Amino acid sequence: MAASKKQHATNQACVIPGGFTVLSLKFCSSSVAQHKLYVKEHKVRDEKSSYRPLDRTLFVLNVPPYCSEEVIKRLFSQFGNVNSVELRDQPGSTQHHGPKLSSVFKPPEKLGFRVGYIVFENPSSVKVAKSHPPSEPLVVSTEEHPVKTGIQTRPTKQIVNSFMEDYDKRKEEEAEQQRKEEEQQQEDEDGWVKVTRGHKGAKARPHSETANQRTLAKEMKKKKKKELMNFYTWQHRNTQKEHIAELRKKFEEDKQRIALLRAQRKFKPY
């Protein structure tokens, strides 16, 4: 008789001070540790919003970081149809102050325990969720709906191998293309070179000894012409300097002559 009373007691909902009901949560069915959620019917008179109806909204505390809005909606769907789920860092109004930012400027989500607002389709679902016994924990990750946690690593080895294979293949194709171009540009018996247009971005040039000597002679001619132009520029600059010096010297002599003439006019022998 005592055992039956004890079993009946564990199947009842656990209500703590503040009106919150305790719900047990397990990450997977094989987990030994359990997490506690604290739920309560949302009754805030100051908040007049159609997003959180007072008779159909369940307020949830201590939501772990690995529970997203999709996970919470799936867990509480067993109590009734869920219209919406909202997770926040702290309790507050649904009205956002300030300008609405784009998703590009959205700040990153904080990884911590959060609070949630679950809106059911029927008011009776709130009562069913509050009467759920803590001896029957809610399971987060199942075979049908697995939940990934921790740092998700990418298959680095496969990516590196794939990149190296593509790189080797591209290098082989470039070497084969260059070999074909060199074969096409070989001199024939008369010394003629067939110049062909290579692949996009490459300049087709003959690689014969005659063409190399012709190019070298052209470069030397350009260099000598440049040196000659520089020499003439230096000579022209010196000529200008000498001309300016002669003009200054003539100016000084003219000044002395004018001063002498003025002095002779002022002299009166009688």
Second CATH level (architecture) for the domain 2-139: 2-Layer Sandwich (3.30)
Q: Distance between CA 55 and CA 98 in Å, rounded?
A: 29
Which pTM does this prediction carry? 0.50
pLDDT 10s digit of each residue in the chain, 270 long? 344 444 444 577 788 888 899 999 999 888 888 999 999 988 876 666 667 888 889 999 999 988 889 999 999 999 999 999 999 888 876 555 445 555 545 566 667 889 999 999 999 999 999 999 888 899 998 888 888 776 666 657 778 888 889 999 999 999 998 888 777 666 555 556 555 565 555 555 555 667 777 888 888 888 777 766 666 676 777 888 888 999 999 999 998 888 888 877 765 555
Q: Alpha helix locations (H) across 50-139?
A: 69-76, 124-130
The residues spanned by each domain of the chain are: 2-139
| Phi, psi (degrees; rounded to nearest 5) at 114 | -130, 175
DSSP letters, 88-148, are ESS---SPPPSPPPPGGGPPPPP-S-EEEEEEESSTHHHHHHHT--TTSPEES--SSS---
CA 202 to chain centre: 33
pLDDT recorded at residue 39: 92
